[in-house]
């Protein structure tokens, strides 16, 4: 992470000025003023390179919040290989937005490169002159650190991040940020009869894990906890219903994007001591066509006793999530939210620029989630959740089947999961967890989707 230090006066030559009015700036000399003034109104981000250094001016007048993040990205493109610079922005909100765009743009996943040292961006220190408080800046950096962690996990291949390692990751972060982490291993999962998770794990050489993360500060504003559930399929071959490789199985290391999202969220909440009681559950396994792999036609008895006819072993996410959602009921939660890279249908419907969500929770939660998505630009678009779709999940020989009809696959998957939730429920299908081409400050590869969304959702609820 880039180091950010609040200072009173500028000492460095490289500078970025975010301002509504060019003539106001005491940090520009006469020549610079003349240069920037000409294009100030039409060009929102512009820069001037001289022998002394580089100067950026960002026009913040009446800009929507995401344009300030995007300005952070644009400035970063030019500055990433300059060691340091000063950012001058009195307005606290704009400063925090700019830092968000800039620092997210600086994320790199270089672990597996031999020449990582040459590839790493040179920028490593920012001085900031701003009305934003130290506390606000630290909170923002903690949130971005959590997004970085979520991105790292999604970018890691299963050759490193298997079901055991992901649980260890959670444990390490729990110790650092002071939230409780309890890991159930295979024998415990067997004794609990988590049939869905065990069925998916049958074809794997690596045992499944089930992790409970709990952040319960003494000053929590909610009496009943919010429970998050994240899909932790650390690799998805499709199982016996094997996926093709190109543009499919080759990216299935990302199928634990939901787990990264919920753990990243709880990590950020704990680091920033947000007064809200949140629990995150992650069922983790890979899905492989190994020796005793579960098979299409199998009937599985789930953790809550529901029987499920398996018609496609590639619809494994709902099998592991269903057990975790049923487990969430025991906390008598205010709300259950799951996040999962669940269906291709959601990607076909909306592409990768947003996630989709649906649910039966109170309108105030549904609206707040959508609004938070707009504000953070970590967006969610709402889909209907009518009971007609439930019909498609009825089986001829069991209580449910794990496959719906050819249409609205993201909704039938949600209706399947809703069956297991005895409390108000929201389902998030993370179609935007991974990008095959770079997009703005989200970069290429893992996006950390949902972390900024859910963190700010709970922060708002804690007020």
What are the residues binding Zn ion (CB under 5 A)? 236, 314, 316
CB of 204 to Zn ion, least distance (A): 13
Residue with smallest beta-carbon separation from Zn ion: 314
253 CB-near residues (< 8 Å, 6+ apart): 154, 155, 156, 157, 158, 161, 234, 235
- Give the Cα separation of 298 and 307 in Å (integer): 10
Indicate which residue of 318, 401, 415, 459 is catalytic: 318
- Give the Cα separation of 243 and 334 in Å (integer): 37
Say if strands 434-439 and 443-446 run parallel, antiparallel, or are unpaired. antiparallel
- Residue closer to Zn ion, measured from CB, 304 or 314: 314
- Residue closer to Zn ion, measured from CB, 85 or 256: 256
Q: Which of 222, 456, 412, 240 is nearest to 333 (CA)?
A: 222
243 an active-site residue? yes
- Residue closer to Zn ion, measured from CB, 314 or 378: 314
CB of 317 to Zn ion, least distance (A): 6
CB 237 within 8 A of CB 205: no
CB of 315 to Zn ion, least distance (A): 6
CB 382 within 8 A of CB 414: no
- Residue closer to Zn ion, measured from CB, 286 or 314: 314
What single-letter DSSP state applies at residue 330?
A: G
Indicate which residue of 90, 243, 273, 371 is catalytic: 243
CB of 154 to Zn ion, least distance (A): 16
165 CB-near residues (< 8 Å, 6+ apart): none
CA dihedral of 284, 289, 294, 297, whole degrees rounded to 10? 130
- Give the Cα separation of 87 and 327 in Å (integer): 48
CB of 438 to Zn ion, least distance (A): 26
318 an active-site residue? yes
CA dihedral of 381, 277, 341, 155, whole degrees rounded to 10? 120
CB 447 within 8 A of CB 261: no
- Residue closer to Zn ion, measured from CB, 132 or 200: 200
CB of 314 to Zn ion, least distance (A): 4
Q: Which of 79, 41, 446 is nearest to 260 (CA)?
A: 446
Three-state DSSP state, 159 = coil
- Residue closer to Zn ion, measured from CB, 33 or 243: 243
Catalytic residues: 243, 318
């Amino acid at each position: 992470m880039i180091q950010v230090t609040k200072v009173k006066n500028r000492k460095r030559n490289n500078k970025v000025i975010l301002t509504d009015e060019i003539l106001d700036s005491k940090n520009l000399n006469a020549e610079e003023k003349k240069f920037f003034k000409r294009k100030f109104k039409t060009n929102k981000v512009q820069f001037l390179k001289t022998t002394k250094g580089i100067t950026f001016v960002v026009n913040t007048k009446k800009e929507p919040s995401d344009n300030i993040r995007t300005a952070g990205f644009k400035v970063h493109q030019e500055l990433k290989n300059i060691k340091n610079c000063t950012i001058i922005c009195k307005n606290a909100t704009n400063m925090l937005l700019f830092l968000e765009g800039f620092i997210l743009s600086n994320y790199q996943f270089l672990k597996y490169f031999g020449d990582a040292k040459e590839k790493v961006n040179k920028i490593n220190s920012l001085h900031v002159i701003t009305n934003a408080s130290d506390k606000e800046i630290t909170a923002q950096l903690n949130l971005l650190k959590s997004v970085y962690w979520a991105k790292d996990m999604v970018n890691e291949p299963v050759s490193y991040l298997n079901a055991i390692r992901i649980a260890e990751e959670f444990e390490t972060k729990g110790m650092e940020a002071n939230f409780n982490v309890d890991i159930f291993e295979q024998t415990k999962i067997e004794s609990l009869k988590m049939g869905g998770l065990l069925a998916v794990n049958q074809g794997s050489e690596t045992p499944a894990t089930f992790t409970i993360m709990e952040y319960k500060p003494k000053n929590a504003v909610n009496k009943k906890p919010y429970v998050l559930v994240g899909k932790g399929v650390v690799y998805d071959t499709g199982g016996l219903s094997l996926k093709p490789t190109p543009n499919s199985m080759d990216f299935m290391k990302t199928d634990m994007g939901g787990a990264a999202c919920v753990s990243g969220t709880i990590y950020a909440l704990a680091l920033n001591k947000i007064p809200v009681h949140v629990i995150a559950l992650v069922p983790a396994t890979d899905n492989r066509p190994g020796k005793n792999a579960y098979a299409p036609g199998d009937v599985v008895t789930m953790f809550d006793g529901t029987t499920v006819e398996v018609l496609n072993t590639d619809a494994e996410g709902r099998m592991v999530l269903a057990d975790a959602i049923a487990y969430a009921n025991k906390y008598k939660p205010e709300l259950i939210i799951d996040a999962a890279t669940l269906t291709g249908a959601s990607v076909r419907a909306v592409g990768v620029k947003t996630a989709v969500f649906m649910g039966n929770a109170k309108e105030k939660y549904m609206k707040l989630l959508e609004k938070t998505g707009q504000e953070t630009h970590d967006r969610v678009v709402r889909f209907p959740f009518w009971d007609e779709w439930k019909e498609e999940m009825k089986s001829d020989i069991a209580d449910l089947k794990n496959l719906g009809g050819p249409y609205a696959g993201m909704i039938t998957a949600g209706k399947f999961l809703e069956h297991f939730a005895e409390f108000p429920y929201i389902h998030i299908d993370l179609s935007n967890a991974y990008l095959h081409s770079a997009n703005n400050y989200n970069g290429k590869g893992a996006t950390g989707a949902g972390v900024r969304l859910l963190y700010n959702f709970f922060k708002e609820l804690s007020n």
